[in-house]
Structure 1
Amino acid sequence: MDYRQGIEAKVGLLFQIADQYLSAQISLEQAKDLIRVEMGHIRPAQYEGMKKELAKRLQESGGRSNPGKLFELFQNYLTPPFQKLPKGHPLRIYLAENVCVRGYLVQMDELEEEGASLEDWVALYETLSHFAVHIKRQEKNFYALCTSSEIYSQAQTAEDLGRAVLEELEKNRERLINENIFDFLYYQRTLSQMLMRYLDLEERVLYPEVLLRLTEEDFAALRRLDDQEGYAYIPHPEEFVPQAPEPGAALEARATADVILRSVLAAKELKIIFYNLSGKAVFSEGGSLAAKEKQLPKAVRQDLLKDSCRQQKHCIKEAEETLLVTYSAVRDDRGTRLGFLMIKERLEGVNNEKEQGDIDSKKLLGG
């Protein structure tokens, strides 16, 4: 069976299962189980063939195709349309990079079947190596935002997979350079499957969850961080412009709340700072924001990202006054982390000597 026949056979088998489900020969759960087995061993070119056939059938009406049932059967293997997000949105950029990599994986399939030259493989691996920019950037910026209990472990898995991909890519490049072709082709399949799992985990698990949980301002902050690291395969993206806040009653209510908040803070001699999930100060009241307060201390952020740590308290000394600094993880009703809050208050009648276990302000705030 040649390369094209292999694609047709895999796609044909997948939709044979789908037809059995659509004709009520098997149940939805049975069909999903059979599809899951076949998709577990699918190659990149076969996956693209499946998507093309599915798109064709979803456009049909009546007859053997039931678009609603087909979508329900295959929905776990489809990437949400992040390309419809506003231009410059981080998730739209990530998808564009991933689409390029999926194209290179298909080229790998083609080269493997066509008996390509050593030079062709070297050129393709050189191109694929640029995806390291994406993997390292995601580890540094994006995965740090995947802190909710629903996706934290998946983000850790993606981080581990990304590192494994880079390691395997380098090892197989060495096999290629040393002209160890048999080992190279064997591990080439391994690398291809690892990359497929990595892309699927990002696109079908992490991106959808993060889209539901982060604000426009969070994505804007993420985009600024990403710009510093650069992008893979695509030109520098257009600027991302967060949607403007709602006018009218919403703004009036916010203004009233701001006045009340300032009054309470002044009466209690409190200062508060809200940090986004990346640790950057995005809101403060009760005093000007000092340079050392613009970023949440790294050690504090790492501790508060742990489910076992909800709050930290420290007594510090500033300008001959003893202050209590409380750091807390801010969560919604579902327990999802939204950011971090620092509350600083002046303590009366407290011994200015540091208590055991306390740390001074320079160490705590990076001064």
Structure 2
Amino acid sequence: MEKVNMKDYLNINFELIDKMTEIKKNYIEGTVDIETTRNLIRETFKGKKITPAEFAYSEQKIKDLGFDDATVHDKMNDVLDLFDEIIIREESDLPEGHPIKTYLKENEAGKKLIAEMKEEANKKFIKNKWLEYYDKLYTFNLTHLARKQHQLFSLLETKGFDRPSRIMWTFDNAVRDNISEARKLLQEDKIDEFLKKQEIVWELTLDIMHKEEEILYPTSLKMITEEEFRNMRNGDDEIGYFLIEKPEGFLPLKKEEKLEKIANTEAAQTGNFMSDLAGLLSKYNMNGNSGKSDVLDVKQGKLTLEQINLIFQHMPVDLSFVDENEIVKFYTDTKHRIFPRSAGVIGRDVKNCHPRESVSSVLEIIEAFRSGEQNEVDFWLEMNGKFIYIYYVAVRDENGKFKGVLEMMQDVTRIRGLEGKRTLVTWERPKKSDIKAEESKNSEKNDQKENPYGLTENTVIGEIIDKYPYIKEFMPTLSPTYKKLLDPIQYMIMSKVATLDMIAMRGGFPVEEIIEKISEKIKSEENKK
């Protein structure tokens, strides 16, 4: 991929950059200690400030000097701390929905959550309270870090900003791993180990937020255009958000809005090649919207582009393809996706799609496939109660020439548990007609008041527990979601407003099933008397 020089995007002081890079180089090499470096910075930059963009550009120059990521990573915290007092804090008035404002709002919510956790740590330990905290904090991995790595980093790489993002990815993984490890200790009731783990979890999470706000976000605002930020929104929405609602506004501009904006900016004076090209293709019916129903010759058969896309969307596996130049070209937009992805990954160097510690394995696979030494390799792991199977296969043309790598991921938890055989049609889920018939039947039963305890979908859970106290302890045996009933504060709220319909929805049950299970429990307890 052709890299765009960062100098095209950043208004930087090259004299300061050179001085900063030299100081960093000497410290990373170990020729000067930390105090000497700190004093040298104060003398060199006396009365001067550097911008986050200049700091980031210096990081890119460090790469050009031949330092590997591991060496820089080990010194990165010290380097950022050394230059901290001379970095300008830039304030930006960003509109609602702007991706950077969203990241900042998430950081604010994350800091508030950690402050609550620190306060809770000084109180009597209540497991349910900590489970609730970690249900929230764990989504930092799944949303905030995932969006940053797959959306923001990928766009920055197209600007030549790849070294700082790759190093930050390693810091991200330290955060992710420690949050996951702490959560597992809590779930396994290893309370002493869990509590000892908290300080490092808080420190690493707050530290990564600091690095983002000091360097990553200000530099991103310098390098990424408004249109690129707007186009980022769809992928951001697909991955999700941390502790905040889906933001409103700042969506991609419609065609008419783009044309109006171009007409009112200097960009109109220089022309817009992509818009002109799109218009030309449209004029001759060659744009992306045409050919949707055209029949294409595939290896075995004839399919339209729409059919091809539908097939990929419905495959019960997660596929991605990296071409012979190690560029990500494709992934399947399927509900069976294992790890978060977004459109920002397309066109990205595959080395930059993995944390530093995984890159060597990725390159080893590609080289073994490229040389013809190997044709396939597989891996498997357990994650969040699921057994994930990962398979890589070399893609070659009819002449055996290497054309890329196809990756397949699949949740095989159910498959691993199959035994014996099934040779007759057996539906895992009831037919829609059967569901309607059952609903009608249940409705008739309700009308006939066959439920001896008078439970309906509108019955409030607190009323049931007041009459049958043992139901409070019984509910968590149906689903971990119902453990909130054991927390006095949560129960005080839920007991007044949560109907069985709401309770069933939270636990993922049909309301009829919840009513049936509670009724059976009540009947069982009454029979003991």
Larger Rg: 2
